[in-house]
Amino acid sequence: MPQEDQVTDSAGEITAKKSHTVQQLADMSVISFLLLISGLKKARKLIKYNTHVGLRERLGDNYEVRLGLGLHIGYSIEGAIGSYYKIDASYLSSHPRMAERMEGATKHYGVPNLITEELYNYFTETTKSYCR
């Protein structure tokens, strides 16, 4: 996020300034997640898994490949951890953990996608009208 789109609050927390660019990015994040979910429903290979007789016998008739997604806005520090042969990215901040908790809550609520209020506040009015 460009520096001009950042604000520091009284607690020293970095937040995004509500600008057209930030609103557009917030809207596009939801659109990308919706495209992922719809692509999952349309993927031919995954449809085969959902209708595979052997899998249905082992896992039950309610078996279906599903994806749960949590969306949150915030900052993090990315760092590489690992060895010379394998490197993984790690994110240090409470914000990625919040998105992870939202993803976990999708199972509890039986929905494919959950969004935090912090991100919702950055949506345009059009995008807000599609949320519940």
This prediction's pTM? 0.72
Residue 3 has pLDDT above 70, yes or no: no
Q: pLDDT band at residue 6, thresholds of 50, 70 and 90?
A: low
* Per-residue pLDDT reduced to its tens digit, 41-52: 888 888 888 888
Q: Tell me, what's the pLDDT at 55? A: 84
Residues 130 and 110 sit within 8 Å (Cβ to Cβ): no
Task: Compute the residue count for the chain.
Answer: 132
Q: How far apart are CA 126 and CA 30, in angstroms?
A: 12
Q: Say how many domains are in the chain.
A: 1
Q: Tell me, what's the pLDDT at 22? A: 87
Nearest to 75 by CA among 45, 96, 105: 96
Residue 124 has pLDDT above 90, yes or no: yes
Residues spanned by the domain of 17: 3-129
